[in-house]
Amino acid sequence: MSGPGAHRPPGDRWGGFKSLVKDLPPETLAVVDKRVAKFHPTLVPALKKAGAHGVVLLQGGEKAKSFNVLQQILEAGIGLSRRGTLLCVGGGTLGDVSTVAAHVLKRGVPLIQVPSTLLAAVDSSLGGKGALDLEVKGRTVKNAMGVFHYAAASWLCPELFESLSEKQLREGGVEAWKMVLTLDAEKWRSYLLSPPSLETLIRDARGLKARVCEEDPYELKGLRRVLNFGHTFGHVLESISDFSLAHGEAVGLGMLCALDVGRALGTTSEELAGVVENALLRVPRVLPRSKLREVIGRAQPDGSTLSALLAADKKNEKSGELKMVLLRDLGRTEFVTVGEKTWKPLWRVWREGGRP
Ligand SMILES: NC(=O)c1ccc[n+]([C@@H]2O[C@H](COP(=O)([O-])OP(=O)(O)OC[C@H]3O[C@@H](n4cnc5c(N)ncnc54)[C@H](O)[C@@H]3O)[C@@H](O)[C@H]2O)c1
Ligand SMILES: [Zn+2]
């Protein structure tokens, strides 16, 4: 594959809005999260002053990953020539829909990602994936359609992260710690001895994810599935909570579920699971197991809903059978088939807020 969205190294640049707008490519259409524009009132005027082709202000949030929002971006970009660029200042949701938009706008234009949440900075703005959610039988199926379209560049603007709440920082922190846990044992140990600064966490997580994407840019070799640690049950929890549970929060709980499945199958030793769970609860502050009880108890999905949600996960082949990334050791994972007989009894314990 070649063209504006072809795989390339991340091309990270760090700086404030001033340097970002100074280097704005000609004919840039900017998609900006409304909340970001509100918290950082100099941003949109600076983009306009720098000659942006247009600025589309959109509401971030899972609902943004829809055809309706895609249409709004495409409409705003209708007058762009094929030399135009799409720039997205936002979290993972606007980043994902903008990635799809950049892929189809004029049959593909370069994308510049300016991640405004920690989650977007450490994860979603890197790796080329963009997606929309689809409504299927009254339920939202996450990332049900998508594209690969690598960003031409990413701008990391630390001032953007100053308006993030504790909760938002935790959501991104969980994904970053997930990468360190599954890919770099040495870094995990050193993080526990001395927690990294936000900038170090971002640089390290991006470095680790970029390394994985470099080896398997279009997810053809199965090497990227390590990034899905915690996501099998994470996605289900996110969905049954009607997205009141944020992605990062759901993935944190999904990691506890993955440790339990690993223990049940003997892939993850009791000792390792205990140490990792304590660390996850303590430092990126993964939500406690009582939250599992709350989310599962409130939604009370019946067996068929649960199976449908798990089956919608593209990693799963036979009904009831899951393909999950499990932890073998610090920095080392295995891709394992998990039968219903293993995960269903665990689910019943999670539903009560317990540790199997
Ligand atoms: N493409 C990928 O590889 C990939 C990887 C991981 C996650 N994702 C996707 O990312 C999405 C989650 O991303 P997210 O957590 O960034 O969600 P998000 O885009 O909804 O942002 C979360 C909230 O933060 C607000 N916000 C954004 N920047 C802010 C700032 N600087 N200050 C204050 N508030 C700000 C947003 O308006 C929103 O309300 C999910 O849809 C997930 O599926 C994609
Ligand atoms: Zn994720």
pLDDT band of residue 241 (cuts 50, 70, 90) is very high
Give Cα separations from 185 to 79, 208, 305, 345 (angstroms).
49, 12, 37, 31
Q: What is the pLDDT of residues 70-128, one digit of tens each?
A: 999 999 999 999 899 999 999 999 999 999 999 999 999 999 999 999 999 999 999 99
**131 pLDDT more than 60:** yes
Say whether 95 sits in a helix, a strand or coil: helix
**249 pLDDT more than 60:** yes
pLDDT band of residue 60 (cuts 50, 70, 90) is very high
**304 pLDDT more than 90:** no
pLDDT band of residue 146 (cuts 50, 70, 90) is very high
> What percentage of the chain carries pLDDT values higher than 90?
86
Per the DSSP assignment, residues forming a β-bridge with 141 are: 134
Whole-angstrom Cα Rg for the chain: 20
Q: Are strands 129-136 and 139-148 parallel, antiparallel or unpaired?
A: antiparallel
Query: Which residue's C-alpha comes closest to atom 10 of ligand 1?
Result: 92
Q: What does the alpha-carbon distance between residue 223 and residue 221 come to, in Å, rounded to a whole number?
A: 5
Q: What is the pLDDT of residues 4-36, one digit of tens each?
A: 999 999 989 999 999 999 999 999 999 999 999
Query: Which residue's C-alpha comes closest to atom 19 of ligand 1?
Result: 91
Closest CA to 151 of 173, 123, 132: 123
Instruction: State the pLDDT at residue 318.
Output: 64
Ligand 1 atom with the smallest distance to the CA of 246 is 15
Q: What is the pLDDT of residues 110-124, one digit of tens each?
A: 999 999 999 999 999
Order across the sheet with 28-33: list the strands. 12-14, 153-156, 111-115, 85-90, 28-33, 54-58
* Contacting residues for 33 by C-beta, under 8 A, at least 6 apart: 57, 58, 59, 60, 89, 90, 91, 94, 116
DSSP characters over 112-129: EEEE-SHHIIIIITSSSE
Is pTM beyond 0.85? Reply is yes
For residue 238, the 8-state DSSP code is H
Residue 305 belongs to what H/E stretch? helix 303-312
Instruction: State the pLDDT at residue 314.
Output: 60
CA 326 to centroid of chain Cα atoms:
19
Residue 285 belongs to what H/E stretch? none
Query: Which residue's C-alpha comes closest to atom 14 of ligand 1?
Result: 92
Closest CA to 132 of 123, 119, 142, 124: 142
Pocket perturbation via mutation, ligand 1, pick of 20, 96, 126, 218 by most ligand atoms within 8 A of CB = 96
Q: What does the alpha-carbon distance between residue 274 and residue 180 come to, in Å, rounded to a whole number?
A: 17
Which amino acid is present at 176? Answer: A
